[in-house]
Amino acid sequence: MKYPFDTSEQLIFDFENLLKDNGLVIKKDSDLEKISFAILETNSKHKKEIIHDNSIDIRDLFSDVAGLVDIVGKIVKNKTHPDFKQLLPHLEVLNKAGTAVLTTKSKITDDGNNKLMELYIALLCMRFATNIRLDDPNNSKGDNPDIMFTYRNNEWAIACKALHSVKEKTLYDTIEKGTEQINRSNADKGLVVVNFKNIIDRNQIWPLLNEEEFKKGEEPIFSCHPTIDAPSKILQSYGCAYQKKLLELIGAEHLIALSKSGKCPSGFLIFLQAMTSVVHNGQCPATILKTFNLVQFDNVEDDYKELSKDLNEAMHDII
């Protein structure tokens, strides 16, 4: 999805009004406030009301503004959902996030960003599920699934995890912990969702073509993909690579054993978001890439595949 200059400014105003209606505000000096102002400034530059500095690297800027527009759009879209009040504690925590978006890296100590992932997944679930409940972000002990909901006549749980290391053993431990949380719950079925945003090579997805010259003071030249296929394949390659690495390091027997309770599948879901640039109507706008990849170690029942598909479609505003 290319960056929506035409609607992003109004969206921030709608978001601010929605917060006020629920007794919340965008707190001063928060990353949420910083990016909100950046959205307004970016629009002003687009409308040529203020001058854009062509010497700066815009990739981090667009990672921030596009990431927040994506989240805020989903918050506003779901404001009439019967379970919207469930989100309010997480909306408050959004003010505390050191990084208030899911399109850029965050520190392992940034608990607010980890809670943002829970908020985002819950917003997606609101497009196709009912009776959505979130674990309290302020009193969470880390032993419960983050999100529970009713889907296809079953009670489901999702455990959201963030990966900060490229080590396969760390990923396995992360999946194992999420599986244990789901198994302890009263859910009939569940999925572990692992956020890979902190290990993505963003320079590969949206390269700077003249990096050495840029360091010496020249204006940056950014790569622009002819279609969205190439950068999308880069994102999707992370799932294939880690499936192979886990099978080699941990072994199929131990990976498949994670599903022995019958609640979780023999696999897990990867969440991936990043910014790139793709040709659109002869121009090269900033474009947000978003995908869920279901990594399978053995046969996975259709219900888990359908949930993965619905999460993907909700993320792309298809449903």
Rounded to an integer, the average pLDDT of 149-173 is: 96
Edge-to-edge strands, sheet with 267-277: 130-134, 147-151, 154-162, 189-195, 267-277, 286-296
* CA dist., res. 251 & res. 174, Å (int): 16
Confidence of residue 2 (pLDDT cuts 50, 70, 90): confident
Task: Report pLDDT for 6.
Answer: 86
> Phi-psi region for residue 131, left (φ > 0), alpha (ψ -120 to 50) or beta?
left
| pLDDT reported for residue 142 | 58
pLDDT digits (tens, 9 = 90+) for 53-82: 999 999 999 999 999 999 999 999 999 999
What percent of the chain stands above pLDDT 90? Answer: 94
From CA 116, how far away is CA 9, in angstroms rounded?
Answer: 21
Query: Burial of 82 by CB count in 10 Å (0-12 exposed, 13-18 middle, 19+ buried)?
Result: exposed
**171 vs 6 pLDDT, higher one:** 171
pLDDT above 70 covers a percentage of the chain that reads: 99
pLDDT computed for residue 143 by the predictor: 60
| Average pLDDT estimate for 23-43 | 97
Say if residues 275 and 103 touch (Cβ distance below 8 Å): yes
Nearest to 223 by CA among 235, 211, 233: 211
Task: Give the Cα-Cα-Cα angle 200, 87, 112 (nearest 5 degrees).
Answer: 40
pLDDT tens sequence across 128-159: 999 999 998 987 665 689 999 999 999 999 99
Q: Residue 152: name the closest of 180, 127, 181, 130 by CA.
A: 130
| pLDDT of res. 141 | 60
